Amino acid sequence: MILQTAVLSTTTLLTTTNHSADNIANSLRNVLSEWGVLEKVTSIVTDNAASMIKACELLQKRNLPCFAHSLTLIIQDALSQENTKPVIMKCKRIVGYFKSSTIAYEKFKEAQNDKQYSLLQETPTRWNSAYLMIKRIIETKGSISNVLLATPKAPQTLTADEIETLKDLVELFGPFHEATVQASASDSVTISLIIPLTCDLYHKLNDLQTNMKTTEGYNTCTYVIRRLRVILLHYENRTVTKIGTILDASFKKEGFLSSNMADSAVKALEDEIASLGRAESSSHYYEEPSTSPNVQLQPEQSLFKFINNKVAERKKSKRVDAVITLRQYLNKPNALHDIDPLTYLKILHFIQFNLLFLIILLFIQQRK
C-alpha cells in the first residue's frame, strides 16, 4: 500500500482567456471524462479562489481548500498589517543591500568569524520565506549591525525595539512554518493532518499570545488567531477531513478541537460504511450463486438450508458489525505520531492475517 501521484493533464483551459467557473469546470470535466474517472472523483483540492470553489459546485464534487494555501493567506495578511509591515520592509531593504553589494557581503561574512550564514530574501509567493528571512537576520544581527554602521550610505540598522518585534514574529510564525512543512509532504498521507495541525496551531497561538514581549507582536498574534478561526476551523466541519482524521490511528477522536465535531466525524464514517454496505448488497459482483450451476435443486431439497438462512441473516447485520468494528478501533490505543497511516494499516493487516493463519494452523494440528 504505497501512496502514488500522477499528472493526468497539463492542458490549458478550453478558453484560455476565460477564467470563469464555468470554463474551469468544463475543462476539468473534459480531462476527468477522458481518463474515465469523473464518477470516481469524490473531492477536488483547490486554492481559495471563488471561481475554483464555484467550479467544484458545478461539477457536483466536494471542494477542499488547500491547507498550505490557507496557511499562506493567514500569514500574508499578517505581514501586510501596519503592526508588521514597516519592520518587514526594513528587513527586505537590508537584505537587498547586502545582496547587491559584493563588498558589503564579504564584510558581512568576515564579521561572522567561523560560522558564516547567508542572508535570505523574502519571496512574495512563499510566505515562509519571510519567516526564514527574519530568523536569519536575528541569528546574524550583530554582524549586520557592525557592517551597516561602518559603511557609508548603507541602510539604517535595526533598532533594539525592532529586533524584539522580529523575535516575537519568529515565535509566532514558527508553528506555521512547521505546519506548512508537514502538510506539504508528497510521499505520505497529509489529509489526516489538517484538523490536528489546526488544533495544534490554535493552542500554541493562545499560549504565545501572553508571552509576546512587544505591542506589535501581541497585536499580530491577536490578528492571526482571529484569522485562523475564520480560515482554518471550518476544516472540522468538512466530511473529507473529518473522516481522514478519524481513520488516522495516531489521532482518532483526540485530533479534534471540538468533541462534538469528533462525534460528528464518527457518525460520518458510520454513514460511509452504511453506504458501502448498501452498494455491496446491490452489486452482482458480491452475490454468490445459491446453488451449483450444474445442479438445480428445489429450495426444500437443498442441503444445509439452515446455513443459508444464517448467511442471509449475517448479511443483514453488516452495518452493525461494521459499527462494532469501528468502535473497537476507536477504543484501541492510538498509534505513534511518526508512523504513516498507510504503513500502520499495512502492518495491522499483516498482523491480523498472520494471526488468522496461526489459528488455522493450530486447529489443523489438533485434528491430526
pLDDT in single tens digits along all 368 residues of the chain: 577 788 889 989 999 889 999 999 999 999 999 999 999 998 999 998 999 999 999 999 999 999 999 998 999 999 989 989 999 999 999 999 999 999 999 999 999 877 788 999 988 777 788 999 999 999 999 999 999 999 998 999 999 999 999 999 999 999 999 999 988 887 788 899 999 999 999 999 999 999 999 999 999 999 999 999 999 999 999 999 999 999 888 899 999 998 999 999 998 888 887 776 655 555 443 344 444 444 444 455 555 666 777 666 665 566 676 777 788 888 888 888 777 787 777 776 666 656 555 555 555 555 44
- Domain boundary at 65, 81, 100, which? 65
217 and 77, same structural domain?
yes
Q: Round the CA-based radius of gyration of the chain to a whole number and report it.
A: 29
94 and 22, same structural domain?
no
143 and 224, same structural domain?
yes
pLDDT in tens, 302-335: 556 667 776 666 655 666 767 777 888 888 888 8
181 and 147, same structural domain?
yes
- Count the domains in the chain: 2
45 and 128, same structural domain?
no
25 and 129, same structural domain?
no
Q: Which domain holds residue 90?
A: 71-236
- Domain boundary at 46, 65, 84, which? 65
Whole-Å CA distances, 207 to 180, 199, 224, 225, 321: 20, 13, 13, 11, 43
Whole-Å CA distances, 271 to 78, 127, 277, 282, 302: 40, 39, 10, 17, 37
Residue at 74: amino acid letter: I
Q: Is residue 204 part of a domain?
A: yes
Burial class (CB in 10 A: 0-12, 13-18, 19+), 157: middle
Residue at 85: amino acid letter: K
Q: Is residue 187 part of a domain?
A: yes
75 and 51, same structural domain?
no
Q: Is residue 131 part of a domain?
A: yes
